[in-house]
Structure 1
């Protein structure tokens, strides 16, 4: 069985435009046009279509955590009291939406049911976060905190071309 192709309905120009957006979403259409061999109007039209078709969900700025004083990056491996019951997911979603320190949250296979990526200023803020998390939900049986010591790659771009 052959692996699925990455975004088979996109051509090379679409892929390049998406790669350029991932590099720097703030660059202007004229600069992008020069790199893909289209007019600025052509780039605008393609980007509008890619947004309308859902390839681009939103454009955001990637801020520097450390510069903002959010020096402690943690991952919380969560185990639910009764596994992945639908009501557990609803309770977890409600709890994490009320906690701005949670950058990302995923449900998992394996020994943990979910993982949260959390940014806080220091160990005191982490302690306070964990207290608020435990107060805002009833579904978590156990949370194992892993503190990131060093970042090697953050906010990586999605691969838009097949690796072959």
Structure 2
């Protein structure tokens, strides 16, 4: 990757709908040159996929929560397998990570309201025989959201 690649990635993170011609204008390449670079970045796995960002509120998903999860037997392999299965089967789950520290995992969830949250928590706990404790943290305000990485300069 060079400076032009990193510039392209920064621009695309902000708006993946930007045309190749406009990207080329901003980085000093032709549209064809941009297309070739983006194809290479996809082939190299730097760009994993292109996605759209939906407005959660306009979809009626007004409640965002983080679940801090503790397992009965820490991060033992069966626990991870069961967690993978549970979060894959629950469409309310946006993200899930295993952690170091006092919690074993954190799960990001979006639901309509507190009733939907209660129903989700019931389904989540039923799917997880390995959970010792779940602490639910309700998001009061989203200060910054997104998946924009600080793309490092080439070395």
In the alignment, which residue of structure 2 is the partner of 1:146?
A: 137
In the alignment, which residue of structure 2 is the partner of 1:22?
A: 13
Q: Cα distance, 1:128 vs. partner?
A: 0.1
5+ residue gaps, structure 2: none
Distance (whole Å) between structure 2 residues aligned to residue 67 and residue 154 of structure 1: 16
Deviations 1:91-114 (A, max 9, x none): 000001000000000000111000
Say what the alpha-carbon RMSD is for the aligned residues.
Answer: 0.8
More helix by share: 2
2:38 to 43, 47, 63: 47
Aligned structure 1 segments of 4 or more residues deviating by more than 3 angstroms: none
Instruction: Tell me the SS of whatever aligns to 1:77.
Output: strand
5+ residue gaps, structure 1: 1-9
Distance (whole Å) between structure 1 residues aligned to residue 134 and residue 125 of structure 2: 9
If asked which structure has higher relative contact order (CA below 8 Å, sep 6+), I would say 2
Instruction: Tell me the SS of whatever aligns to 1:26.
Output: coil
Note the 1:44-83 alignment, pairs <5 A. 44-83=35-74
Instruction: Tell me the SS of whatever aligns to 1:151.
Output: coil
Q: Cα distance, 1:14 vs. partner?
A: 0.2
Deviations 1:54-112 (A, max 9, x none): 00000000100011110100000000010000110000000010000000000001110
TM-score by length of 1: 0.91
TM-score by length of 2: 0.97
Note the 1:126-145 alignment, pairs <5 A. 126-145=117-136
In the alignment, which residue of structure 2 is the partner of 1:114?
A: 105
In the alignment, which residue of structure 2 is the partner of 1:96?
A: 87
Q: Cα distance, 1:161 vs. partner?
A: 2.9
